[in-house]
Amino acid sequence: MSPSRVVFSASTPLDPPSDDGPLRWSDVRGYGRRLVRRFVAQARAAEQPTFRTMIGSHFGIAVDDLAVSAETWPAYEHVNVQAALDVWLARPATTHEVLGLADYRHRGSFGLADLLGQDDPRVFHGPRPGNVTRTSLPIGPDGATRECLRAAVLLVSDGDDRLAILFRGPDPESDLGGVAVEVVATRDGLAGAVTARLRELALELNVHRGQVVSFGHSMFGERASLLRFHPRRPMAAGDLILPEATFADIRRQVVGVARSSERLRAAGQHLKRGLLYGPPGVGKTHTVRYLVGELGETTIIELTGETLGAIREACSIARSLQPAMIVVEDVDLIAQERDRYGGETPLLFTLLNEMDGLAEDADVVFLLTTNRADLLEPALAARPGRVDQAVYVDLPSRDDRRRLVELYVGGLDVDLSRIDDVLDRTDGVTASFLKELLRRAAVIAAERQPDAELVVSADDVDASLAELLDTRNQMTRSVLGYRSE
């Protein structure tokens, strides 16, 4: 019996006895019956069902002394807890009914104990049975979602056992930043076993495992923010142009460690905290993208300066969903920032401490990037051993510049007969610069021959380079990461 379906018959029609023809005894009796029915209906309306009465009648025993077992999760686990609940409810011999909650917002905290306690409407102003509210939450990067309860009481029959579950999702309008589940049951010990099982299932069915996720913003603290999914796009090795030794170092540190984590762990090794540093535009972010693509099964958690406050949550997710990689891009942005919780400690130290706190055998790789290693160095030097390997990504060599030009030419028809001259004049430029060089050359070619098929001549390439090196383009050069001195 769901409260949203209960119809109170307070409006029983009450026609006076018909006055055509003489008054009959049967009319009087009928009128009297209707009067009685109306009084009963009004009395019932005054005593609408409460959770206490509904759970009480579901259990068939007094509910006052039943022990409540409670469990909580951070907000981003909402969808996982729902998945756990759905699987648990779908077991054979289990039936359930979902009751919604009304009047629960802006009411401060409440739990099952409150719902089971005093329910006299003259004293109790807590939540009452109402409509069931649900919300759709993403379960992957492709737009698929799962319907999740926002707030509900479930009346469950499991064989001879009877249970009631209070389920609450994150609700910034009341006081709840995370997910809370409370259980009472007719049998001793059952409530605790159910919350423990839900915790296990939520981990087993975790939709974030093996995905690329980042924290969304939340005004209510990191525990209250949700995780966003990002598509993982595998990248061809040929799309990343780095000096061979640099590429080998990075791959060994990240992919190699992931692949042989068992053996390395057995040997007591823990190569798992790397730093990529180097000037802007040389491909640090590009490298991270490549690694994310190559580590197909690994859970990736991306943190930025704005979401670094969630570092503890990120570590906890990484630990429970290993193998995992935590990426902190542009870590210098937080080097100076104070910890929002710890007061005086800069966030960077919090990060380093969390990195250190991960168990030696945890299969979690940290990858930090920065173009301001000078800002990080004092902190890293003060806490030695936090970073296992720092890899410098340099400006591309002449040889790498040639490979980059070839890469960016792609399907374009470009005359590269004077490429050596271009390479001579581009010492010290970044990959981004060369990418822009070819884009501009293509634009110039298109302007020159508006109706013809796009063919980029050696002159177009020269013109593009001349534009980029022109003094008027100082700002463009600098945003592309090029410094002339």
Ligand X SMILES: Nc1ncnc2c1ncn2[C@@H]1O[C@H](COP(=O)(O)OP(=O)(O)OP(=O)(O)O)[C@@H](O)[C@H]1O
Say which residues have a Cβ less than 8 Å from residue 385's Cβ, sequence separation at least 6. Answer: 356
Q: Which of 119, 436 has the CB closer to ligand X?
A: 436
Q: Which of 230, 319 has the CB closer to ligand X?
A: 230
CB 54 within 8 A of CB 164: no
Number of residues that bind ligand X (CB under 6 A): 14
- Out of 284, 401, 402, 477, point to the residue binding ligand X (CB under 6 A): 284
The listed partner (ligand X, Mg ion, none) that binds 286, CB under 5 to 8 Å by sort, is: ligand X
Q: 3-state secondary structure string, 167-185?
A: EECCECCCCECCEEEEEEE
| Nearest residue to ligand X, by Cβ distance, number only | 283
Give the length of the chain: 485
Residue 448 to residue 441: CA distance in whole angstroms: 11
* Stretch 434-473: interaction string toward ligand X, x if CB under 6 A: -x--------------------------------------
CB 344 within 8 A of CB 338: yes
| Nearest residue to Mg ion, by Cβ distance, number only | 285
In this structure, what token pair is assigned to residue 138?
Answer: 């993403």
Question: Is residue 432 a contact residue for ligand X (CB under 6 A)?
Answer: yes
Tell me how far, at minimum, the Cβ of 249 lies from Mg ion, in Å.
18
Bridging pattern class, strands 94-102 and 413-414: unpaired
Residue 478 backbone zone (phi > 0: left; psi -120 to 50: alpha; other: beta): alpha
Tell me how far, at minimum, the Cβ of 187 lies from ligand X, in Å.
58
Say which residues have a Cβ less than 8 Å from residue 108's Cβ, sequence separation at least 6. Answer: 174, 175
Residue 293 to residue 309: CA distance in whole angstroms: 26
Hey, which residues between 337 and 396 contact ligand X (CB under 6 A)?
A: 371
Rounded (10°) CA dihedral 365, 368, 374, 376: -70
Q: Which of 223, 284 has the CB closer to ligand X?
A: 284
Tell me how far, at minimum, the Cβ of 373 lies from ligand X, in Å.
11
The listed partner (ligand X, Mg ion, none) that binds 241, CB under 5 to 8 Å by sort, is: ligand X
Residue in the structure block whose two tokens are 């910034």: 172
- Out of 431, 441, 444, 445, point to the residue binding ligand X (CB under 6 A): 431
Bridging pattern class, strands 324-328 and 299-303: parallel
Q: From the DSSP assignment, how many helices (H) and strands (E) are in the chain?
A: 17, 16
**Nearest to 374, CA basis, from 332, 336, 337, 425:** 332
- Out of 117, 141, 280, 428, point to the residue binding ligand X (CB under 6 A): 280
Bridging pattern class, strands 273-277 and 94-102: unpaired
- Out of 63, 112, 207, 282, point to the residue binding ligand X (CB under 6 A): 282
Question: Is residue 274 a contact residue for ligand X (CB under 6 A)?
Answer: no
Contact positions toward Mg ion, by CB under 5 A? Answer: 284-285
Stretch that binds ligand X, among 42-50, 141-149, 162-170, 429-437 (CB under 6 A): 429-437
* Stretch 208-247: interaction string toward ligand X, x if CB under 6 A: --------------------------------xxx-----
Hey, which residues between 12 and 31 contact ligand X (CB under 6 A)?
A: none
The listed partner (Mg ion, ligand X, none) that binds 242, CB under 5 to 8 Å by sort, is: ligand X
Hey, which residues between 302 and 321 contact ligand X (CB under 6 A)?
A: none
Question: Is residue 283 a contact residue for ligand X (CB under 6 A)?
Answer: yes
Site residues, ligand X (CB under 6 A): 240-242, 280-286, 371, 431-432, 435
